[in-house]
Structures are given as C-alpha cells and as structure tokens.
Structure 1
Amino acid sequence: MSGKAIVAHANLDPYERTIVVSDIHGDNQGFLETMRQVEFSPQDALVIVGDLLEKGEHSLELLHTVMRRAQAGNVYMVAGNNDTIFSEWYNDEVTDEEVHDYMNHRKNIILREMALEMGMSWQTLEEVRALKAAVPKRYAAELDFLNSLPHILETEHFIFVHAGLKPGPLTEQDRDFCLTAKAFGTQLHRFEKPLIVGHWPASNYCETIINVNPYFNRNTNVISIDGGNGLNRWHQINYLILHREHIDFGAYDALPRFRALDSQEPSKDPLTLGFPSTEAEVIRKGETESICYLPAIDLEIPVANDQLYNYKGKRYCYNMTTYCLPVQAGEILACCDVEPRGLLAKRNGMVGYYTGRYEFLSSDDLLLKKEGKQP
C-alpha cells in the first residue's frame, strides 16, 4: 500500500562541504573508512541517500554509528527500500508470514542481528511473532530514527531521493516510486535541480564497458551514485563532495590491491551483460568454469562456476564482462576476483580482466588462499 512521500528541506549552504553517500548496506567499516577518506569534519554536512541497512553483516552497528553522528545535527538521510522493513511490518503492509520467509531466506538482515542480540530465534512463525513484540521494547530509539526518515530531501541546489521521482511537485510524489523506481537514470524527464539518487547500481547503466563510478545523465540532470556495495564483485561506496553547486566525486572499497607486472592493450568489442540478460544454460561443466549458452546473445561462452546461481527456477550468471583493461606495467589495480582467465580487476572505476603477471600488495589477502590461484 503506497501513499504520498514525505518531503524534508534543509539549508546546507552554511557548511563547508556536503558529502553524499548511498547504499552502504550494513557495511559499518566501509562507512567509517569512507568518512576518513573524505576527512569528514563538523564543518561538513552528510547526506545519506537511503539503503543504510541489509545485505551487509553489520546493519545494526552501522545504524548506531549513524544515529550517534546525527546527534551533531549535520547528518541528513532519506529512506531507502531496505530501511523500511519495520514501518512496513508494524503498519501491516507486510505480513508476519512474509517476514518469517524473509528472515529464513536472507542471511544478512537487521532483524536477525536484533534477534541474536536478544537471544531469540526466528525459525517458526510463532518465534517471529514473539520477535515482533520484543523489538519495539528493546529498540525503540532505532525504530523512531528509521520511522522519522523522509523520502525526499530538498536543498537550495539539489534534491535527494533514494530511487527516483516522477515529474511534478515534490509534495505529490508517490512514496513507493521514491523507494523502488528501477533504472531511473534512463528516464527522459529533465529536472530543474540536480537530482541525486541511489538504489540502482551505476554499473547497470553500462552497455559495453562496466564503470562503477557515479553515473551522470546530463540530459536529465540525474546523478546515480549507487556503487553496488554489498551487491556485486566490483562493489564500492561512491561519494559526492558538493561545494554549493560544484560537484566532485570519489569512491572507497576494501578490495585487495595488486601491481601489474606486464602491460596489456584494451580488448575490442567487449561483451557486457546484466540481469536479466544473464540467463545461462550449462552446456559442458568443468572443474572451475563451464561452457554456457546465453540465449540473450545466442552465444556459448566460458563462465566461472562460482558465478552461476539459480533464481526462480532458472539458471543465471552474475553480471559479466569480457573486457580486458588497458594496463601499464607497474600500475596498481583493485582485484575483484580471481578467475581461470585472469584477475577481474578495477581501474579508476572501470572493470575488466588483467591476464598478465602480477603481485599482490598484501600477503594475507583471502584471494591468495583460493586453491590453485596463488600468483
């Protein structure tokens, strides 16, 4: 059941800078490191464009971190679709049965964290109903914080919303559209003020070469900043630094770094696919990778076995690319994964393969411990 979106207004001009992040998804350490990287200070404002929670392992800890910072008065946040589980549950917009199913099929969710902290279980429907009664007593401050979040934040120079807006007055916006609009960066309406959104990973807008950095649609004045944190292998936390109307951007990730020992040229005619075009039929299964037929492109290609998954009765591979990055020997790159064909790497936000010799910069990287994948 939808309704009108809640709109908040703020004057951010008195602050030296406004730092904007979105889609942190339970990554408390990543959030703290991002704040260190931008050298966030009391003279700055912070805007969080939704989806603080879920997918990561530390949603409750991250919520507490943000609540503490918000006490200073310079933190602003709009709700994302992953931040509304409590309001939806307690307003009977989702049923106890749906929450029971959610808790038993999703691993990293704040309700599980709360249950574990209270020594409660969620295996049965009765246990979930007991949890529903216990949460408001133990976590009243947390629920109050989340329930107070607006859906839209308007400032002098920008508008912030988690997923998207429809043309028209802010006071007439649909709440669910603000929370769940898909691929909003491709809509055609031009907004007067720059509109900053998250929700849909910026890399999903790439048709040839994956780029994880913020997606600027200058025709529509929409900036999509979701870096896919907690969602895909090339994840990062994107941030904007706003100085009045001036915009800079950067990103943080905790991926291991390696030094390329060889140069390589970029590949031509790369193939990049995102869901739902990644449906795959395994033709010949191998030990580490399989030959798969992808109906969307009518081709058989090798896919690493750990990149295949089942969804609603069909087999898919995760978002993929065949692109090989341009690399100069000596460059430092981020390693997203180790695959039979080489390292899936990230260079200045661009994602592709590096197939030359390399050395990791940290000897304790988990990637080095993958069987048969030591450099």
Structure 2
Amino acid sequence: MNRKVVVKRLKKKEVGREIVISDIHGNLSLYQRLLQKIDYKKGEDRLILLGDLVEKGPQNLQLVRFVMQQVESEDVHCITGNCDFVAKNILYNYRLPFLKSVLSVRKNSLIHEMASEIGIEMDRMDMDEFAYALRKAFLKELSFLNDLPHVIETETTIYAHAAIENEETFGDDFREVMASPFFFTRPVSFHKKVVVGHIPVSEYCDSIARFDPLFDGTKNIYSIDGGNMVKSAGQLNALIFEKDHCMSVHIEDQPVYRVVRDVNPSIQIPFYINFNQGKIDVLEEQEQQALVYSEHHHRQFWIDRAFVKTFGNDLKGTDYTNYHIPLKKGEHVHVVFTYSNKAQVKKNGFLGWAFLEDLEPV
C-alpha cells in the first residue's frame, strides 16, 4: 500500500465563505441541520470536510452517498480521516482480522450498514469472502473514501485531519497527518493557517471544558473537533472563514431544558477530567459517590460513581467537572445526562452541572 501523503491544492476562496467541518462520524441528520443553521449556499460557499466522515454514528452509508453528491455538484472538498480507513481495509483486504475485532465491539459502522443492505453477516462468513461481497456491491462508495487526499492546501491555509509535520512535505507517511494525536499541544508554529480535527477540543481542557473550536495565534493552529458521536457532551462544529474574519457555529443533539430560576454559584476553582488524563485511584466508596485521587490534578475529591468507569486496566473519571455553571431564568441549556439530583449541562459550548430543580424540559 502506498503510504505517501496525498495533497489536493485549491485556489484561495476570494469571494464567499470557506466553511470547515470536522468529524461528522456518520451523523447525517446533525450535519444537515448544521448546514441549515449556517445558511450554507450551494455555488457560493466552499465546504471543506476534515475527515472521519464515517464510523460511530447511525447514518454512515447515507452520509457517504450524500457527501458524494455534494462533491460531484458543489464546491465541496474532503480529506480522509483515520476512521475512514475502514474503506481501505475492505478494498485491499488489509488487516481484516483486526477490522473484525474492531467491528465486533463497534455498534455503528459503515461496514455493518453495507452488510445489512445486501443481507450478509460478518460473523457467518470468512472475512476475505465478506470483503469481496462488499467490494462487489459498494465499489463506488468504498473507492470514494479510498481516493480522498490526506491534505488540502490553499495559498493561505493547510487542512489535515490530525496534524502536519511541516509545511513543505506535510509528512513522510499518511499516518502522520491522519492519526497523530494532540497536535494542538506541539511546540511548533506555521506561516500558513493549519486547521485540524481528530482530537475533541475538550481533551485540551483542564479547568472548564469547552467544545467550540480552539485557536492558538502563536502557532497559527485551529483545532475544531467538537467531539460529535465521541463525547456524550459532543457537538458538531463549523469554522467559517470570510475575507479576514473567522467565526464558529455549532449544533448539538442533547435534549433542551429551560432554566426556571437564576443560579449564581459561589466562587469556585473549577477542574475537568478529560479522557486521556482521566486515570483515578478510588480511595473510598459510598452508595452514590466515591472519594478518588487524580494524579494529573494532584488532588483528591468526591465524584459521583456514574463517572467512574473502567477502561482496560484503568479506572477513569472521564468527563467529570465540578463547575457549577451560572444560569439565568429563561435561558436554554442542553442536558447531557442526569445523576442523583443533578444534571450535567452544556451552555454556549461550555460544560458544567446544575441541580435538576433549577431546570425543566422544553
């Protein structure tokens, strides 16, 4: 398999907007709602999709077909992400035993949907025969994903799914631009704007979790993955460039609640436990809570047991926040989930918690 980084070069968008969306993950309905919210105009706006079109969401095959039509008839351009690699697995019979192990625990997948559409089951077939059947039925869709470039470059901007190694060759291996983690924290800077997805932006948060795009002006890097279909508090982000201006718009799926009274929490020192730094040690357990220690935060604290989960050999307190979010009567918030007498909520892209008695469903 050729592992060279494939680059697509476009002329700078001189008139109209250049809209960037990352990590749709098979959520076609949310993607369409976001396009409607930003008033996307065919023929006027340019749309760049930063990879991970598929996997983890409920409408993978529909999403691929919808985007294929967009690319054919509109100013729409896509790059490939690590989750889109499932197309190469099937096309090239590449690491099929590994693919099978992934799909056995991944409920929502493009591959499952393809198999269902033609009435076959992965567990009842040899994987070589299974891949052949999918190639025969879905060559057009698989080839579309397979042929996507790894990088899009204009005179002013470089777009990649996860990272670039430099501004000249971008990387020596497609994995470097498609799957490298935590690019936003690297001690690098670039002359051109570099826009990436891949890692939910909340993974860069320690105090108050935020899901809107991040920008570091000293590095000239934008990170825009809102954690859609990956985080329970995730959202789908659009980054919009127009002339010398930049703005972001997001949309989310969580249920909407109305605030019934003003909430002005006392002064606090907020902290947030992301997934990658979420390892905890349980010191004491009660019926609903556990006393835990976080090495990353160098502190111990009580946490609701709903947040204590096992990942491999580790216990993690993933996505816990102590941030009691300020609220105003009549405001709308999105409820991520409820626990005991509280709810984890999102307001304007920020994550916090509120008492259930302060909220009512819309």
Query: Normalising by structure 1, what TM-score?
Result: 0.89
> Which structure 2 residues correspond to residues 319-338 of structure 1 after superposition, within 5 A?
319-338=319-338
Shift of 1:284: 5.2
Counterpart amino acid of 1:142? E
Conserved 8 A contact 1:263-1:327: yes
Shift of 1:86: 2.0
Conserved 8 A contact 2:14-2:243: no
Alignment partners' CA distance in 2, 1:338 and 1:130: 45
Task: Give the structure 2 partner of residue 199 of structure 1.
Answer: 198
Task: Give the structure 1 partner of residue 344 of structure 2.
Answer: 344
Distance 1:9 1:201, change over 3 A: same
Alignment partners' CA distance in 1, 2:291 and 2:69: 50
Conserved 8 A contact 1:335-1:345: yes
Conserved 8 A contact 1:103-1:122: no
State whether structure 2 residue 22 is matched by structure 1 residue 29.
no
Task: Give the structure 2 partner of residue 113 of structure 1.
Answer: 113
Counterpart amino acid of 1:110? L
Conserved 8 A contact 1:157-1:244: no
Counterpart amino acid of 1:211? R
Between 20-29 and 171-180, the greater mean CA deviation after superposition: 171-180
Counterpart amino acid of 1:34? L
Fraction of identical pairs, as percent: 26
Counterpart amino acid of 1:355? F
Task: Give the structure 2 partner of residue 64 of structure 1.
Answer: 65
Distance 1:248 1:176, change over 3 A: same
Counterpart amino acid of 1:169? E
Task: Give the structure 2 partner of residue 210 of structure 1.
Answer: 209
Counterpart amino acid of 2:155? E
Alignment partners' CA distance in 2, 1:289 and 1:233: 21
Counterpart amino acid of 2:99? V
Shift of 1:251: 0.5
Task: Give the structure 2 partner of residue 368 of structure 1.
Answer: none
Task: Give the structure 1 partner of residue 227 of structure 2.
Answer: 228
Shift of 1:63: 0.8
Alignment partners' CA distance in 1, 2:305 and 2:122: 32
Between 94-103 and 197-206, the greater mean CA deviation after superposition: 94-103
State whether structure 2 residue 90 is matched by structure 1 residue 81.
no
Conserved 8 A contact 1:49-1:197: yes
Conserved 8 A contact 1:309-1:316: yes
Conserved 8 A contact 1:264-1:356: no
SS where residue 138 of structure 1 aligns?
helix
Alignment partners' CA distance in 2, 1:229 and 1:139: 26
Conserved 8 A contact 1:12-1:45: no
- Deviations 1:43-64 (Å, cap 9, x if unpaired)? 1111001111111111111111
Counterpart amino acid of 2:136? K
Shift of 1:153: 0.3
SS where residue 71 of structure 1 aligns?
helix
Between 217-226 and 266-275, the greater mean CA deviation after superposition: 266-275
Task: Give the structure 2 partner of residue 312 of structure 1.
Answer: 312
Task: Give the structure 1 partner of residue 135 of structure 2.
Answer: 136
State whether structure 2 residue 88 is matched by structure 1 residue 96.
no
Shift of 1:144: 1.6
- Deviations 1:97-147 (Å, cap 9, x if unpaired)? 1122112121111111111111111125x4432211111111111012111
Conserved 8 A contact 2:260-2:358: yes
> Which structure 2 residues correspond to residues 141-152 of structure 1 after superposition, within 5 A?
141-152=140-151
Counterpart amino acid of 1:251? H
Alignment partners' CA distance in 2, 1:341 and 1:284: 21
Alignment partners' CA distance in 2, 1:336 and 1:292: 23
Between 349-358 and 58-67, the greater mean CA deviation after superposition: 349-358
Distance 1:171 1:256, change over 3 A: closer
Gaps of 5+ in 1: 363-375
Shift of 1:306: 3.8
Conserved 8 A contact 1:262-1:330: yes
- Deviations 1:234-256 (Å, cap 9, x if unpaired)? 11001111113421111111222
Shift of 1:73: 3.5
Distance 1:171 1:216, change over 3 A: closer
Shift of 1:88: 3.9
Query: Normalising by structure 2, what TM-score?
Result: 0.92
Conserved 8 A contact 1:278-1:316: yes
Alignment partners' CA distance in 1, 2:306 and 2:129: 37
Between 134-143 and 168-177, the greater mean CA deviation after superposition: 168-177
Counterpart amino acid of 1:70? V
The alignment's C-alpha RMSD in Å is 2.2
Alignment partners' CA distance in 2, 1:52 and 1:84: 10
SS where residue 122 of structure 2 aligns?
coil
Task: Give the structure 2 partner of residue 269 of structure 1.
Answer: 269
Conserved 8 A contact 1:159-1:193: yes
- Tell me how many residue pairs correspond in the alignment: 360
Distance 1:15 1:136, change over 3 A: farther
Alignment partners' CA distance in 2, 1:171 and 1:224: 17
Conserved 8 A contact 2:79-2:160: yes
Gaps of 5+ in 2: none
